[in-house]
Chain A
């Protein structure tokens, strides 16, 4: 019955089924987290505790971040090793919102502003106690920053590994700036001491549950939206840019604006991921801008498989769950395991777990054929 349902809305093919499976997984998370994370079911054996809910929420924010990278890397063919920049813009702005909220009706400022000799919030904190100001600010700032980077890079026709290095340089510069105490965002320690979001204390299980649910829901909606986008004319053009940009240009397409648009859109999604992530870890620090994080995003997408969208989500989920689990028991082994996984994927698989390549596909096919043959005998 299940398969009949799958076929009725998806057409056929393993790709469509994998997409649908990931959609269902996300739907499941959206419903299961509030159901099992809040009372009355939370205290049953099936229930989720705060740690588990928080973990699911963080992984979902990472899945959204991976989706944003897959759009520019998997479709347009431009690898960004600097997506942490947009993630951090969203993260810092939602952090500013929560800090400002904590100081509403009080005089005084957080310690990191005190150290700078300030007794009140600088002008760019004004209005930040309203969530919509922070949201709008994050989106506008991300749009501006991504536009400037995209325009400069694409205009000069920077491609391939040069683009990756350039994007990494931007995130590194941002990390250095934000690590300075006199930049006014708490330097190395970042901004922290958040208390509540939308009136719910961050320490309460409710806030963890709703943040995790929201992260899963936004990831789900983004997946559906990007799937529509990439299967339509925009997707064909992006694949054209990836596979043979000169051919597309000589056909008469101005690829500059297409690339800028997709790059900015991807940056905005990463910023939204940051806005979902920071309230869950309760700190926005230059760690978000660390080149390591930006490279890890690419690792999630590479392991899941580029250019399928759901591959990025699967990669982000698998790698991060493994990371959470392993760093609890054997943190010193994690870098080796991650490097090993990357090597394995690069050497053995053609394009991540979602595209095992001809050798493995042959294995799968022969297994399936045997199964089908077995069924035939039974009937």
Chain B
């Protein structure tokens, strides 16, 4: 286990974005996440790998609010209690997430999808509906379209996009609100090599000192290519933590991945 002090030395003066402590999630007695403690820093890309059922997606579900934990703490900026927050407050606090299965609104255009991610009046849905949609929103949508390189298909219905484009579009929807914590669940699943390269470049563009990117991905090569730091989960617990080279040479990790 890495201590917070060691992280400080690894990333210079990196600030903790997410502070997860003793997090436990149970489904009908099965411990999907088992007293997990994990720190996610601003400024980098933090990969989480592990075999199927290790609890990676469940951790994201807890942070997003679609799953309630049994015990534990999740703090944003070491101050805001995330678990107690309402779903819409989490988004307002800058927690954004791309789901594992590409979740775009297929009957809306690419532009309309991204526009749903922008909020001009985060406190009031009524005001958003009545007064939202001004030039500021349109400018932000164009900006995001450029970032995710989908400007050429801006007016196409999302349902007509290729699989890889849908993945980027969903990242764009989440990105529209300029999230401080960006969680990506399997962003390159089912992608071709070219698309994977494009996604790696996109992730580099998304890096920011004010943003923490948390990446769950089965593709180890991709994780190694883009992540600054990698955590390995196994059976709901943290098995190893460090750079990709460090964790892949860890005997415990090798044992879990290559069978016992």
Sample 6 A-B pairs with CB under 8 A, ordered by A number. Answer: A236-B108, A236-B115, A240-B108, A250-B87, A250-B91, A253-B116
- What is the chain B residue whose CB lies nearest that of A254? B88
Lowest 9 A-B CB distances belong to which pairs? A252-B91, A247-B103, A252-B88, A233-B129, A243-B105, A254-B88, A244-B103, A240-B105, A249-B87
Chain A residues within an 8 Å CB radius of B99 = 246-247, 250
Chain A interfacial residues counted at CB < 8 A: 20
Chain A residues within an 8 Å CB radius of B103 = 244, 246-247
- In the bound complex, CA of A258 to CA of B88 (Å): 13
Flag if A252 contacts B119 (CB, 8 Å): yes
- In the bound complex, CA of A251 to CA of B103 (Å): 11
Chain B interfacial residues counted at CB < 8 A: 33
Contact with B along A220-246 (1 / 0, CB 8 A): 000000000000111011011001101
Flag if B116 contacts A251 (CB, 8 Å): yes
B237 at interface (Cβ–Cβ under 8 A)? Answer: no
Chain A residues within an 8 Å CB radius of B129 = 232-234, 237
Across the interface, A246 reaches (CB within 8 A) one of B66, B133, B177, namely B66
- What is the chain A residue whose CB lies nearest that of B99? A247
A338 at interface (Cβ–Cβ under 8 A)? Answer: no
Flag if A243 contacts B66 (CB, 8 Å): no
Asked if A239 meets B64 with Cβ closer than 8 Å, knowing A234-B129, A253-B88, the reply is no
Q: Which of A246, A247, A254 has the most CB of B within 10 A?
A: A247
Asked if A251 meets B174 with Cβ closer than 8 Å, knowing A233-B128, A234-B129, the reply is yes
Flag if A252 contacts B177 (CB, 8 Å): yes
Q: Which of A177-234 contact B (CB under 8 A)?
A: 232-234
B219 at interface (Cβ–Cβ under 8 A)? Answer: no
A153 at interface (Cβ–Cβ under 8 A)? Answer: no
- In the bound complex, CA of A253 to CA of B88 (Å): 6
Across the interface, B64 reaches (CB within 8 A) one of A248, A250, A254, namely A250
For residue A278, give the distance in angstroms from its CB to the closest CB of chain B: 34
B224 at interface (Cβ–Cβ under 8 A)? Answer: no
Chain B residues within an 8 Å CB radius of A240 = 105, 108, 116
Contact with A along B99-136 (1 / 0, CB 8 A): 10001111110001001110100100100110011000
A31 at interface (Cβ–Cβ under 8 A)? Answer: no
- What is the chain B residue whose CB lies nearest that of A244? B103
Asked if A250 meets B125 with Cβ closer than 8 Å, knowing A233-B133, A240-B105, the reply is no
Flag if A258 contacts B125 (CB, 8 Å): yes
Inter-chain pairs besides A243-B107, A252-B119, 4 sampled, C-beta below 8 Å: A233-B128, A233-B133, A240-B116, A254-B87
Chain B residues within an 8 Å CB radius of A239 = 105, 107-108
Flag if A257 contacts B125 (CB, 8 Å): yes
Contact with A along B170-208 (1 / 0, CB 8 A): 100110010000000000000000000000000000000
For residue B142, give the distance in angstroms from its CB to the closest CB of chain A: 17
Flag if B116 contacts A243 (CB, 8 Å): no
Asked if A233 meets B132 with Cβ closer than 8 Å, knowing A250-B65, A252-B177, the reply is yes
Across the interface, A251 reaches (CB within 8 A) one of B66, B91, B106, B107, namely B91
Flag if B105 contacts A252 (CB, 8 Å): no
Contact with B along A305-328 (1 / 0, CB 8 A): 000000000000000000000000
